[in-house]
Amino acid sequence: ADGFSYAAVMDGIRAGRVWVDHGQLISGLDARVAGGSRWATLGGALHVRKGQNVTLTVDIALADGPNWAGFVPKLARVD
């Protein structure tokens, strides 16, 4: 979202810029794809020529506090 207002959050969800975490396994996620001099974030679109290389980057911020069950979860893998 471009802000924390209800309208900004709903606009972000409608645009597909959302990730869901059940259990507070991570505290943040940033996904982006780049091709040439252009890039797009979660929910965006990147148009590249057939055969052009693209780079997907995913940054994950691990949980740093206890979840609802009272423990700090440990991320074992990313699929």
Tens of pLDDT, residues 46-64: 999 999 999 999 999 998 8
What pLDDT score does 1 carry? 63
d(CA 50, CA 65): 44
Torsion of CA 13, 14, 17, 18, to 10 degrees: 30
Decide: helix, strand or coil at residue 8.
helix
For the whole prediction, is pTM greater than 0.75? no
d(CA 52, CA 40): 15
Confidence check: pLDDT of 31 > 70: yes
